[in-house]
Amino acid sequence: MLDDKSANAHSFQVDLRGLVDLLSHHLYSSPRIYLRELMQNAVDAITARRRVEPEAPTAIRITLDESGLRIDDPGIGLTEADVHRFLATIGRSSKRDDLEGARREFLGQFGIGLLACFTVAERIRVLTRSAAHPDAPGVEWVAASDGTYSVRDLDERERATPGTTVFLTPRPGAERWFAPDVVIDLARDFGSLLPYEVTVEADGRSVRTTDSPPVWDRNYVSAAARRVALLEYGEATLGFTALDVVELDVKLAGVRGAAYVLPRAASPAESGRHRVYLKGMLLGDATTGLLPDWAFFVRCVIDTDTLRPTASREGLYEDETLAAVRETLGARLRDWLTTMAAQDPQRMAAFMSVHSLGVKALARHDSDLFKIMLPYLEFETTAGPANLTEFARSHPVVRVTSTVEEFRQIATIASAQGIGVVNGGYTYDGELVALLPGVMPGVVVEQLGADVVTAALDPVDSAGELAMAPFLAAARSVLDPLGCDVILRAFSPPSVSALHLDSREARQERTRAETQAEADDLWAEILGALKSAEPRAQLVLNHRSPVVRRLAAIRDHALLVAAIEGLYGQALLMTHRPLRPVDTSLINRAFDELLGWASRNVTELAGEEGQA
């Protein structure tokens, strides 16, 4: 603080109306939190009174009538001096005197919560009497949203017992926040786990909105009954039937609750939307930061007394405690996974059928887990879908592709040569395969290089090449306009008549060339300047394929063109890549042409038979 006596020392000037507006309207995401702030103050006041008077009453009552809302608590109450100090001073809280202790015990801490009521009320009236100073008279404090307030002493008849009553007069336009059903729902949503009973009275009915102790703090006749109760609670609270439930009871971290395994695959992007209660009061139902990112296959409901809220009390404050809790809960989930892997393969299989991606994400950072989960993680390989333990046993050198496309292009050839290849193109798969030697000593992992494929493509002797020359020339002239070269090689298996080899660069180059052809002069010039000498796509015809040899013998030019286009189309389809419009129309044309030939032959045959 600056020295007061200094000639230059000034105090900030505060525009009260602006401050009230800022805090009440812009800090929170919805006016609905006004009720949370009121219930929170009531709970804190009761907690404060029971510190010194353990037997003091605890019931909180909310009453609704045409004049607005009233909330009564038998808590610690306030003297007139307290009213000036705490209620009327923005940013001052009675709950911060001994910080750490208060934080553990009380819900409030910032000294701004009551202002949230101005989002729905034009007037806040508080009648209060201190339990700590029984001789002090009751006090009335009336505040308006423009930042003005009045205080008056109450006589004995107006306030005989300790505690506080807050009245809210609805702001025009905000009446819906005072409708009985809305208030009951809000009280339940925010406060179902509060330690003191809350009832809402309206229209002649009285509804209890608390349901404590929480389901995880109750006693059950058996572990099975406990599990059923937890699952039912999850379904009612989160709205889905969980695949499984993992109890979270981490006393040291001050966390109790449960993690519910999602019944459907979840996107890592929507990870971590948990229902978090702070000392029984709902913080939010889409709270992030509670679990490590990899744990996106669960949603939690927890109650905690160690974590700190942000000022809007709608999110968790990121600090060391939260980081420690995150780690502890992550470890708990990992234990659950490893135990299930070891003891309950059926449940494990059901889990993996939905969440293998989540487990793969997790295994990247945790080699112990990776090792345990290896038999359950499926990869696409040249031996079909397989787990890496099995695959590595029959292929001590595991080759991995970096894209799905590479895998599609060469899987058939590689497997015909006995080369084991894993498709590393899917999310996390490449990374996990690279980690394999660390968990399976003796296994070698190598990136699949072009050499492995080219070594498998044997050159054809000159006599063979010569015999096929007319066919190759025809194929080149058909495919050149499509940006594709044609070569002849001998490879296994003979059932594959042609291979389409293409790199991403080659495709980009083609797209550029096509754009250039369609572009106006300036644009075409720029694109022309960018032209690179990237390799073109290649159609590798298989000399060992009986189909290729038969087609090479065709003399009819139109049929030959259709046959070449057919081979090209088939090789292209084998790559599973999306087709360019020009390729689709080529395949259609070839198919039509070949069908035409086939049907003409059938008609001719039928004619010959008819004549005979």
Ligand X SMILES: Nc1ncnc2c1ncn2[C@@H]1O[C@H](COP(=O)(O)OP(=O)(O)OP(=O)(O)O)[C@@H](O)[C@H]1O
Distance from C-alpha of 253 to C-alpha of 290, rounded to nearest angstrom = 12
Residue 451 known to bind ligand: no
Handedness of CA 124, 129, 132, 137 (dihedral sign): positive
Identify the residue among 20, 39, 56, 76 touching ligand X (CB under 6 A). 76
Work out how close the CB of 98 gets to ligand X at its nearest, in angstroms, rounded to a whole number. Answer: 14
| Torsions phi, psi for 357 (to 5 deg) | -65, -40
Q: 41 or 545: whose CB is closer to ligand X? A: 41
Q: 52 or 228: whose CB is closer to ligand X? A: 52
Q: 164 or 271: whose CB is closer to ligand X? A: 164
Identify the residue among 27, 42, 248, 298 touching ligand X (CB under 6 A). 42
HSE-up of residue 24 (Cα within 13 Å, Cβ side): 25
Q: What share of the chain is helix, strand, coil (3-state, %, to 5)?
A: 45, 20, 35
Q: Which of 186, 228, 232 is nearest to 209 (CA)?
A: 186
Identify the residue among 23, 27, 37, 428 touching ligand X (CB under 6 A). 37
In Å, how far are 224, 226, 258 from 220, measured between CA atoms? 9, 6, 16
Work out how close the CB of 168 gets to ligand X at its nearest, in angstroms, rounded to a whole number. Answer: 13
Q: 50 or 543: whose CB is closer to ligand X? A: 50
- Told to check if 45 binds ligand X by CB under 6 A, we report yes
Q: Which stretch binds ligand X (CB under 6 A): 37-45, 318-326, 395-403, 533-541?
A: 37-45
Q: 37 or 380: whose CB is closer to ligand X? A: 37
Q: Are strands 198-202 and 60-65 parallel, antiparallel or unpaired?
A: parallel
Can you give the length of the chain in residues?
Answer: 612
Identify the residue among 41, 119, 287, 575 touching ligand X (CB under 6 A). 41
**Contact by Cβ (8 Å): 401, 567:** no
For the CA atoms of 12, 13, 18, 23, what is the dihedral angle to 10 degrees? 30
Q: 73 or 509: whose CB is closer to ligand X? A: 73
Identify the residue among 60, 64, 78, 484 touching ligand X (CB under 6 A). 78
Handedness of CA 74, 76, 80, 84 (dihedral sign): negative
- Within residues 81-140, the interface with ligand X by CB under 6 A covers 86-87, 93-95, 108-114
Helix (H, G, I), strand (E, B) or coil at 254: coil
Distance from C-alpha of 89 to C-alpha of 87, rounded to nearest angstrom = 6
Strands (DSSP E) found in 146-250: 149-153, 163-170, 198-202, 205-208, 245-250
What are the residues facing 497 on neighbouring strands? none
Q: 108 or 430: whose CB is closer to ligand X? A: 108
**Contact by Cβ (8 Å): 194, 175:** no
Residue 37 known to bind ligand: yes
Q: Which stretch binds ligand X (CB under 6 A): 68-76, 169-177, 525-533, 587-595?
A: 68-76
Residue 73 known to bind ligand: yes
- Told to check if 39 binds ligand X by CB under 6 A, we report no
- Within residues 153-212, the interface with ligand X by CB under 6 A covers 164
Work out how close the CB of 66 gets to ligand X at its nearest, in angstroms, rounded to a whole number. Answer: 23
| Torsions phi, psi for 540 (to 5 deg) | -100, 110
Work out how close the CB of 132 gets to ligand X at its nearest, in angstroms, rounded to a whole number. Answer: 10
Q: 61 or 347: whose CB is closer to ligand X? A: 61
Work out how close the CB of 91 gets to ligand X at its nearest, in angstroms, rounded to a whole number. Answer: 8
Residue 458 known to bind ligand: no
Q: Which stretch binds ligand X (CB under 6 A): 73-81, 197-205, 364-372, 496-504?
A: 73-81
Residue numbers of the site for ligand X (CB under 6 A)?
Answer: 37, 40-42, 45, 73, 75-78, 86-87, 93-95, 108-114, 164
**Residues annotated within a binding site for ATP:** 37, 41, 73, 164
Binding site residues, as ranges?
A: 37, 41, 73, 164
